[in-house]
């Protein structure tokens, strides 16, 4: 396999395409809305219409407007149909000729689509995730070829450094710097690990990327392997993503068959294998040191850093760990150049960010925008604001590790530093919109309950602290708490934040701290509550009596 062969495969793929093409979304959201039946029905309708010679039906990745699925798009017109049912299939085929269609017509030019800018998702919804030829036709693996035959590993690292790409898993560590560190480690073997253990409630960015365009991630990992000197990669996917796992598995086999993964890739001396490791449902395994232990076959618990995985990772060897979206940016950076990438975004946050927009918002779905886009544009212009004429109250970013940003601060640009200043974090990209009916104490309690159940149990502040924080929040919620309980809550939040061993515990108090910061009155309003009969809580009443 060389570049000509690769291009040849792509050209063949394009040549073999028929005049009309139905792209049926086959990502998890649309599939769960009945997308598979829709696809079958369209295929049958095409056959029945006798136009199978000029019309093809393909399963593609996420078409983004997840809340309106199943989604179908038709080439070459680009017409989009929403909430399609199997019964509408014959009329969809008729729509090719401009006949009126029963299915609801979507508007691909509405702000939800037009205000997005795609890098990571550039082929998402266009390529067929289970056919490598389709990805190759869209340019997959060309950046890998370029690296292997035109660039030294050091040049690849330089390029990533110059692009300004930062880790998309949440913390935002400069990706190129991390690559450089692993590359300079004298020990061998080295490993490349892709963290696809996306576990935040409401987050589906990585899932969508893996389900829609797995080769992009595989290519990014192979480039990373070349840059840092690793021959083995692992992709750690959570077991709850069976479709992503299947598509990765299919993708790896197909890439191996074509010599794009495995030994002597593109007839170079570079060998790179990728194996899948499936998570067993522990949120904490998204923490890199716990993830490493899990890959090693041990109990997934974090350890203290330093040493960082770059120095001592998988089996104590130098290991590069990046998130799915980080790797998915790499092929585009190598293709278009670091300067192109660095021109997008803000001074310190380059490129784009994919968000999974969910909650009380009209347009839920997958969104990719340049860094620095104001939150308001994401939730109001792209997201269409809260449904049913309600007002947005807050936006939650970063999942259980993040915070709630009040509507008054929606003009904040989305970049790593701005969100941290507001007491939240970028996180991996979950974005949950909350309208005025949302109870913020309840939100805090929900996330604390999540962290409590997902704590690994190793360190005391996280294991036992989250339980007590959750109880305090329950008491406040049930109007059984007093002002002393509220200060106990704040004090314990500070301790858990600063004393916990890993990021899970350190960030577990964030939803409480940020709702206290912006919605304190909701907590205080519950402190005056009375005690339900039969359940004396003592402190509040007694305190009043004592002061009489």
Name the residues that contact other proteins, by CB under 8 A.
Answer: 282, 284, 299, 301, 303-304, 452-461, 463-468, 471, 488, 491-492, 495, 498-501, 535-536, 538-539, 541-543, 545-546, 548
**DSSP element (H, E) containing 431:** strand 430-435
CB of 526 to other proteins, least distance (A): 18
CB of 412 to other proteins, least distance (A): 23
- Strands laid side by side in the 55-60 sheet: 55-60, 20-25, 72-75, 79-82, 104-106
Q: At what angle do helices 483-499 and 539-547 cross, to 10 degrees?
A: 130
CB of 48 to other proteins, least distance (A): 54
Closer Cβ to other proteins, 189 or 239, answer by number: 239
- Contact between residue 382 and residue 410 where contact means Cβ atoms under 8 Å apart: no
Q: Look up residue 485 and give its two tokens.
A: 């309980």
Q: Look up residue 535 and give its two tokens.
A: 């359940």
Contacts of 278 (CB under 8 A, 6+ apart): 236, 237, 238, 239, 245
Place of tokens 């798009």: 73
Closer Cβ to other proteins, 406 or 465, answer by number: 465
Q: What 8-state DSSP symbol labels residue 308?
A: P
Place of tokens 């299915």: 103
CB of 464 to other proteins, least distance (A): 4
Closer Cβ to other proteins, 91 or 531, answer by number: 531
Closer Cβ to other proteins, 134 or 401, answer by number: 401
Q: Look up residue 533 and give its two tokens.
A: 């009969």
Closer Cβ to other proteins, 228 or 284, answer by number: 284
Closer Cβ to other proteins, 268 or 531, answer by number: 531
Residue 200, SS3 per DSSP: coil
CB of 425 to other proteins, least distance (A): 15
CB of 301 to other proteins, least distance (A): 8
> How many Å apart are CA 156 and CA 333, to the nearest integer?
10
Closer Cβ to other proteins, 211 or 540, answer by number: 540
Contacts of 474 (CB under 8 A, 6+ apart): 445
- Strands laid side by side in the 403-406 sheet: 365-370, 352-359, 430-435, 392-397, 403-406
Give the count of beta carbons closer than 10 Å to the beta carbon of residue 307. 13
In the chain the first and final C-alpha atoms are separated, in Å, by 88
Closer Cβ to other proteins, 34 or 449, answer by number: 449
CB of 352 to other proteins, least distance (A): 29
Q: Look up residue 247 and give its two tokens.
A: 């598509």
CB of 206 to other proteins, least distance (A): 22
CB of 491 to other proteins, least distance (A): 8
Distance of CA 472 to the CA centre of its chain: 31
Closer Cβ to other proteins, 78 or 538, answer by number: 538
Q: DSSP secondary structure string, 516-548?
A: HHHHHHHHHTTTTPPPPTT----HHHHHHHHH-
């Amino acid at each position: 396999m060389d570049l000509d062969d690769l291009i040849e495969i792509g050209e063949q793929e394009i040549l073999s395409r028929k005049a009309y093409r139905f792209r049926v979304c086959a990502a998890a959201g649309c599939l769960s809305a009945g997308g598979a039946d829709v696809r079958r029905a369209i295929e049958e309708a095409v056959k029945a219409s006798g136009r199978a010679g000029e019309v093809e039906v393909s399963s593609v990745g996420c078409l983004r407007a997840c809340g309106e699925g199943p989604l179908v798009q038709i080439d070459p017109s680009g017409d989009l149909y929403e909430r399609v049912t199997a019964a509408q299939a014959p009329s969809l085929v008729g729509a090719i000729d401009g006949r009126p269609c029963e299915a609801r017509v979507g508007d691909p030019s509405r702000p939800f689509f037009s205000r997005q800018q795609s890098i990571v998702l550039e082929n998402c919804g266009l390529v067929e995730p289970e056919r490598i030829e389709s990805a190759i036709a869209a340019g997959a693996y060309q950046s890998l070829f370029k690296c292997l035959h035109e660039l030294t590993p050091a040049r690849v690292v330089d390029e990533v450094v110059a692009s300004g790409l930062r880790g998309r898993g949440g913390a935002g560590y400069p990706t190129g710097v991390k690559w450089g560190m692993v590359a300079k480690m004298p020990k061998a073997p080295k490993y490349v690990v892709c963290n696809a253990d996306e576990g935040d409630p409401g987050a589906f960015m990585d899932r969508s990327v893996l389900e829609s365009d797995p080769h992009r991630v595989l290519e990014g990992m192979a480039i990373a392997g070349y840059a840092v000197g690793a021959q083995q990669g692992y992709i750690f996917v959570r077991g709850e993503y069976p479709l992503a796992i299947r598509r990765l598995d299919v993708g790896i086999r197909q890439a191996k068959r074509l010599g794009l993964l495995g030994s002597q890739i593109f007839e170079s001396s570079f060998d790179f294998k990728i194996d899948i490791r499936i998570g067993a449902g522990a949120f904490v395994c998204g923490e890199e040191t716990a993830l490493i232990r899990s890959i090693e076959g041990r109990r997934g618990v974090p350890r203290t850093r330093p040493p960082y995985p770059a120095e001592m990772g998988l089996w104590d060897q130098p290991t590069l760990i990046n998130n799915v979206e980080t790797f998915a940016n790499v092929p585009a950076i190598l293709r278009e150049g670091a300067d192109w990438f660095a021109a997008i975004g803000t001074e310190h946050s380059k490129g784009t960010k994919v968000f999974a927009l969910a909650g009380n918002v009209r347009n839920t779905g997958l969104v990719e925008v340049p860094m620095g886009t104001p939150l308001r544009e994401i939730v109001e212009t792209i997201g269409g604001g809260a449904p049913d004429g309600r007002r947005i109250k807050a936006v939650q970013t970063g999942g259980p590790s993040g915070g709630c940003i009040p509507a008054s601060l929606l003009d904040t640009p989305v970049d790593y530093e701005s969100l941290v200043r507001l007491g939240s974090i970028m996180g991996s990209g979950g974005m949950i919109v909350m309208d005025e009916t949302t109870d913020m104490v309840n939100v805090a309690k929900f996330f604390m309950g999540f962290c409590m159940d997902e704590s690994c149990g190793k360190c005391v502040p996280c294991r036992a602290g989250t339980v007590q924080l959750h109880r305090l929040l329950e008491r406040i919620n049930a109007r059984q708490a007093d002002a002393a309980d509220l200060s106990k809550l704040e004090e314990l939040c500070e301790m858990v934040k600063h004393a916990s061993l890993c990021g899970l515990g350190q960030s577990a108090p964030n939803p409480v701290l940020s709702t206290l910061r912006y919605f304190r009155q909701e907590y205080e309003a519950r402190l005056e509550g009375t005690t339900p009969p039969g359940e004396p809580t003592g402190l509040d009443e007694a305190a009043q009596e004592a002061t009489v």
